[in-house]
Amino acid sequence: MDRTSTYLKYCITWLKDNGGNELEGIFRKSPNERELQDVQKMMEKQKDYNLESSLDPHLVANLVKRLWGNLKEPIIPFNLYSTFIAANSMEDLSERLSNIKEAISLLPSPNKTLLHILFEYLHELSQHHQLTLMDANNLAICFTPNLFRAPTSETISILWIAELGRFIAVVSTIITHFEYLFSPTIPQDKPKNFRSIQSKYSSDTLKNLAALEEIKKIEHTSNNQNDFNWVQKLSIIKDNLKA
């Protein structure tokens, strides 16, 4: 994660130094795809590769956006998806933020560090939305698919799309309230309703989201996909998702 952190900081610094904070449609507009892939390959091969100031800022912005999809494991683990969605479903803002802050504390430390770097910049960028036309919600739309990654299973991907609006809402909340959510101060007592927030969320949806991790594990650990037990177990889980 150290190299990823360095890569991320470098790209963000480049964007700040080259007009990224005033760039209309940053993270939304696409650069030349071939040029993007060429630069991406060079940065992966050379640790000290320097981005030229003449590059299209949209290209560098897309390097930041694609970084999360290229990680071997999702930056937010599948087993925490329902926790974040449930936390963000609280009607009271202070309660919602307390629960999201607690959910963030459950992330592995390296993941939390990377997300801190990203959301700090997205929060800063959202303050310039009159110039960029990219407020917190628009930025969330751009980043959510790579932060809350969909599993490869077709059935699960359909489920993920159905929940996409809730994932976007979570990311938008974190961008807007970054300073509180990532502040080092953690209340001594956990939010009163933290352990019960998932009960406020649809039990069927929670069941489906919990199955994400199980299906991902089965699909990637089986040595023989023709094995009857593997096929039977996967079939049962997917049938439950359709129910």
Name the packing angle between helices 2-17 and 109-126 (round to 10°): 10
* Domain limits, the chain: 1-72, 75-242
Distance CA 211, CA 238 (A): 9
Distance CA 26, CA 60 (A): 10
Quickly count: other Cβ atoms within 10 Å of residue 151's Cβ. Answer: 19
Distance CA 106, CA 198 (A): 15
H or E segment to which residue 10 belongs: helix 2-17
Q: Please tell me whether the overall predicted TM-score, pTM, comes out greater than 0.85 for this model.
A: no
Say which residue the tokens 């504390």 belong to: 105
Q: Give me the pLDDT at residue 163, please.
A: 86
Distance CA 201, CA 207 (A): 10
Distance CA 166, CA 84 (A): 9
Contact by Cβ (8 Å): 92, 54: no
Cβ-based neighbours of 114, under 8 Å, separated by 6 or more: 1, 4, 5, 8, 75
Burial of 231 (0-12, 13-18, 19+ CB in 10 A): middle
CA 33, chain centre distance (Å): 22
Superfamily of domain 75-242, CATH level 4: Rho GTPase activation protein (1.10.555.10)
Question: pLDDT tens, position by position, for the chain (243 residues)?
Answer: 678 999 999 999 999 999 999 999 999 999 999 999 999 888 888 877 889 988 999 999 999 999 998 888 899 998 899 899 999 999 999 999 999 999 999 999 999 999 999 999 999 999 999 999 999 999 999 999 999 988 776 666 777 788 899 999 999 999 999 999 999 865 555 555 555 444 444 444 445 555 545 544 544 554 444 444 444 444 444 444 444
